[in-house]
Amino acid sequence: MNFFLDAFGWIFSPDRLEGYLPLPLAIGQHLAFTFGAVAIAALIAIPLGWLIGHTGRGREVAVALSGAARALPSLGLVLLLVLLIGVVHKTEAAVISFVLLAIPSILAGAYAGFEAIDRTVIDAGRAMGMTPWQVLWKIEVPLGLPLLIGGIRSGALQVVATVTIAAYVGLGGLGFFFIQGIQLQRFEQILGASIVVIALALAVDGVFALLQRLVVPRGVAVRSPARDRRPATAATST
């Protein structure tokens, strides 16, 4: 219990507002890397995922490439890219590795959202005279948005937990306190930094969870099997 008290004492100490890297600045750097990488990954993965989901082609290739990207060790990739690109461009090297980490989840959410749509809804839209672009933007995109946000949510959580490795190449962020704490054997600092990272992950997850609920189109309800069985049970009892 004393370890947690010491960790919270480290977090809320006035000293965290001073020094080489104040805690608020480290949190800002951490979030900047996270949302920057997720935004770039979304720009790449969402159009590609929509294309796969709309046409039904290339899914196997996307799954294979996503699996390969997930298997890449993030720290090793950052160090490799720093060596290949150069120390001067270590920020770009770190961002590239975080983007590659976020792409698989966002890509899967984009095409899975389209695949989950009932085909009769799309056929009805075409029967009403909708063009392919109208079907895409008025049916597929709105109905597939919740799963897309879920993919972005998953990717953001993976990135926010991994951005700590940016400190290994001198880019700051909350990982700086891990490295410094290990070197100085300050365990309250390591635990305190871990608590801050966990709090950020929970906050990011909460924001995307709320957004995922808000983007569900009006009139679309998710019914659980238990709810579906209640009327039948009530009917049989009467």
pLDDT tens sequence across 50-83: 999 888 888 888 888 777 777 778 878 888 888 8
Is residue 200 within 8 A of residue 194, CB to CB? The reply is no
Packing angle, helices 23-55 and 141-162, rounded to 10: 140
What CATH code would you report for 2-232?
1.10.3720.10
Asked if residue 237 has pLDDT above 50, the reply is no
Asked if residue 219 has pLDDT above 80, the reply is no
CA distances from 189 to 9, 24, 174, 186 (A): 9, 15, 11, 5
Q: What pTM was computed for the model? A: 0.85
Q: Give me the pLDDT at residue 187, please.
A: 92
Of the candidate ranges 13-22, 87-96, 196-205, the one whose mean pLDDT is the lowest: 87-96
Q: Tell me the torsion sign for CA atoms 93, 99, 104, 105.
A: positive
The pLDDT-based confidence of 46 (bands split at 50, 70, 90) is very high
Q: Give me the pLDDT at residue 105, please.
A: 92
Asked if residue 229 has pLDDT above 80, the reply is no
Give the whole-number percent of the chain exceeding pLDDT 90: 52
Q: Give me the pLDDT at residue 3, please.
A: 82
CA distances from 150 to 113, 156, 195, 211, 214 (A): 9, 10, 24, 9, 12
List the chain domain ranges.
2-232
What digits encode the pLDDT tens for the residues 168-190? Answer: 888 889 999 999 999 999 999 99
Sequence-separated (6 or more) residues with CB below 8 Å from residue 193: 174, 175, 177, 178, 181
Q: What is the mean pLDDT of residues 193-204?
A: 95
Asked if residue 232 has pLDDT above 60, the reply is no
What digits encode the pLDDT tens for the residues 73-118? Answer: 887 888 888 888 877 788 898 999 999 999 999 999 999 999 898 8
Of the candidate ranges 1-5, 28-32, 34-38, the one whose mean pLDDT is the lowest: 1-5
**Residue 138 and residue 132: Cα distance in Å, rounded?**
10
The pLDDT-based confidence of 228 (bands split at 50, 70, 90) is very low
For 174, half-sphere exposure in the C-beta direction (CA atoms, 13 angstrom radius) is 28
In the chain, what is the greatest distance between 2 CA atoms, to the nearest angstrom?
Answer: 76
Q: Give me the pLDDT at residue 143, please.
A: 92
Asked if residue 225 has pLDDT above 50, the reply is no
